[in-house]
Amino acid sequence: METYLNLEKLSNDLKNLFQNQNQNQNENENESYFDFEIICEQNKTSFKTHKSILSSRSQYFKTLFNSKMKEYQENKLILKDVSSSILFSILNYFYSGKIEINLENAVEILIFSSKYFIDELIQISLKFIKNNLQIETIVDVLKLSESMNLNELIDSSYQFIFQNFTELIETSFFLELEENHLNSILSNDKIPNK
């Protein structure tokens, strides 16, 4: 006996199910297959989804559906804190297992994933951010990582600052560092030519 596993086909089928419904919202052909709606309040974009997919991919949704809250009973959740493009990317990831992370969306994906307990995406976005630290964004990344208690990213941010200190002090970004950051940086012996 042989077992065949075609995860790519499964991933594509689920992705197409989600994308086809949400790109052709005027067609009610497959509407009965979906049992939950997520609405992005920023531009009133609506996404048809499945409770089973959402709860299997996010602890937040699992808890929401098990608690029988208002959203569960109404089969609808309105999100105020995310753009429709980020929400689409994350929901598409739930269905397909694929996501495009870039410099423009990585922080938003990290914030949303942290808020809604999407552990895989937290790790993916953290890895992307750590691998793409830049002088222009390092202060913002450091502040964000501290506000979210992301110790691994805090450490990576400081390491980047230590390695690029000479270049950083010649930019206006250096002036955006807070006093506690400066104290941590200047008290460290990893800085060249203090």
Cα 29 versus chain centre, distance: 31
**Looking at residue 19, what is its pLDDT?**
75
**Looking at residue 193, what is its pLDDT?**
59
**C-alpha distances in Å from residue 25, one per residue of 29, 37, 72, 152:** 10, 12, 22, 41
**Looking at residue 15, what is its pLDDT?**
80
**pLDDT > 70 fraction of the chain, expressed in percent and rounded:** 88
Cα 90 versus chain centre, distance: 7
Which residues are CB-neighbours of 152 under 8 A, at least 6 positions away?
126, 130
The CATH class, in words, for 1-22+34-118 is alpha beta
Residue type, 44: K
Q: In the structure encoding, which two tokens stand for residue 34, read together?
A: 């979906």
Cα–Cα distance measured from residue 8 to residue 15, given in angstroms and rounded to the nearest whole number: 10
Which neighbouring-strand residues pair with 39? 46, 78
**pLDDT tens over the chain, length 194 residues:** 665 666 787 777 778 777 776 665 555 555 667 899 999 998 889 999 999 999 999 999 999 999 988 998 899 999 998 999 999 999 999 998 899 999 999 999 999 999 999 999 999 999 999 999 999 999 999 999 999 999 999 999 999 999 999 999 999 998 999 999 988 888 877 766 55
- CA dihedral over 16, 22, 24, 28, signed as positive or negative: positive
